[in-house]
Amino acid sequence: MDNTKIKEIIAYLFFGALTTLINIIVYGVCNVLCGISVFTSNITAWFLSVLFAYTTNRKFVFHSNKKGIQSIGKECISFFLGRLSTGIFDTLFMVITVSILDWPNLIMKISSNVIVIILNYIISKVLVFSKKTE
């Protein structure tokens, strides 16, 4: 594995960890401290963490060189759609494990995020920030 690939993976893991931390903190504040439902807390946490993730992934991880509103718009939409798919998984996982099965709330949130971060890397690398020509 070359240095560029190693740096990319390290950057992805670093910003992925920060994104996950933002997701968990926002979820915890909304659900545990404010008493907002699991569903609404999870959607809020997802949205704010995806905004952070797009910005950091674009600039610091995959070094996107897309220019122009149309190219950046396509990239952003692809990113959000990819995250939407893993966000739906995350939300279903949380509702099933916490609301239906009554498993431990924050442990399930952390478990879900481990799966989501792996899926998000694959989607970003292969679909969103691939170096293919337009």
Domain definitions of the chain by residue range: 3-128
* Closest among 32, 12, 18 to 107, alpha carbons compared: 32
CA distance 123 to 114: 15
Burial class (CB in 10 A: 0-12, 13-18, 19+), 43: middle
8 Å CB contact between 16 and 121: yes
Instruction: Write out the chain's pLDDT in tens, 134 residues.
Output: 789 889 999 999 999 889 989 999 999 999 999 999 999 998 899 889 998 999 999 999 999 988 899 999 999 999 999 999 998 999 899 999 999 999 999 999 999 988 988 898 899 999 999 876 54
